[in-house]
Amino acid sequence: MGVTDWFIGLFKNNTTVSLDMYTGEIAAELFYKELAIQASINLISNAVARSEFQTYEKGKSTRGENYYLFNVEPNKNKSSSKFWRDVIHKLIYDNECLIIQNNGYFYVADSYEVTKYAFKDYVYKDVEVDGLKLDKPYFESEVFHFELHNEKIKNVVDGLYKSYSKLIAASQGHYKKNNARRGALKIPSSYPETDKAQKALQELLSKKFKRFFEAEGGAVLPLTNGMEYEELSSNIGIKGGIEGRDIRAFIDDIFDFTAIAFQIPPQLLRGNVQDTEKVINNLLTLCINPLVELLQDEINRKYYGKQAFLERTYLKIDTSIIKSVDIKDIASALDILERIGAFSIDDSLRVLGMEPLNTKWSKARWMTKNYERVEDRFKGGG
């Protein structure tokens, strides 16, 4: 039954009708959950992309082909920052990521089929890269296969959101109800029942009232045939929601739950900048470093192998450069590290993001005369 038909049955009595403002339908789909997930993935992938993939040969830091491959150009189509962002995005979103090697370059697989065996290499078939399906099967030892958890963390967030989104929708509806204008339209019993009058009433209800309620400035509502409109009290400006909570509080909850799932400090995901240094340290310790170790271990065991690793030829991902530091904040620490011989001048320059001098004296270790060996300190029974 249309709203106009409903009114027609009331014409024979002098009736007061309650009207709520109509401004359009509420969208069925809410995107807060996807926003929280994408924000988490972007935060993690940006942090990993900022890391330095350090390469070592026989225990010495080197910058050769492998360094360039991991830090600058993994393949001809993507820079390292774009490549590792894609890797992390796929790893977190799909719970796993497959990287194949072709002509010395690395490529992220869009899709693949895997056959698992208990005591021999898994086999990956129908590997697709950028829309191209490859005929060649790849063995486990030939690929990087990163796997995050036994269960997709995104599925857990999805399941949580299915229930929690009902609370958001309810709060949203409550908010709209509280902030709606309300009025009473009095229609006299003498209102004509002609087709023309009914058409005018329909236009009044569906168009004129809508424009009147939606007007940002002053507005006039023309009424005829003895009709009267009276503004009723409303809750405009009064906060409303389930148990007094507003919509933003529920959205913050979604971000908090998602952050916890990805082991990100919740205040960082929400953009709260208080205690930033402590929050960044927690992010590195709980989220980024474990993820980086996963990448690092897989690369070392597949790309370098056991023998090279035991001979101290390996890859190490340095996350210390993720944090932006003020030179004044670390000057004292660098001074101490140089005085006890832990750092050379070149080491300090690298920490500061500067190019090392690579001279004999800048590579040397120095120690202040204030320090001496423990056994020397107690010679002569002192």
Query: Full-prediction pTM beyond 0.75?
Result: no
Which residues lie across from 138 on neighbouring strands?
124
**CB neighbours (10 Å) of residue 266?**
16
* Between 266 and 274, the higher pLDDT residue: 266
Helix-then-strand count for the chain, H and E: 16, 13
Can you spell out the DSSP letters for 300-337? IIIII-HHHHHTT-EEEEE-GGGS---HHHHHHHHHHH
Residues 185-205 have a mean pLDDT of: 76
- CA–CA distance, 154 with 95 (Å, rounded to integer): 8
Judged against a pLDDT cut of 50, whether residue 225 lies above it is answered with yes
Q: If you average pLDDT over each of 65-79, 84-98, 224-238, 260-274, which comes out highest?
A: 65-79
- At residue 156, the pLDDT reads 64
pLDDT bin (cut points 50, 70, 90) of residue 238 is low
Average pLDDT value for the chain:
79
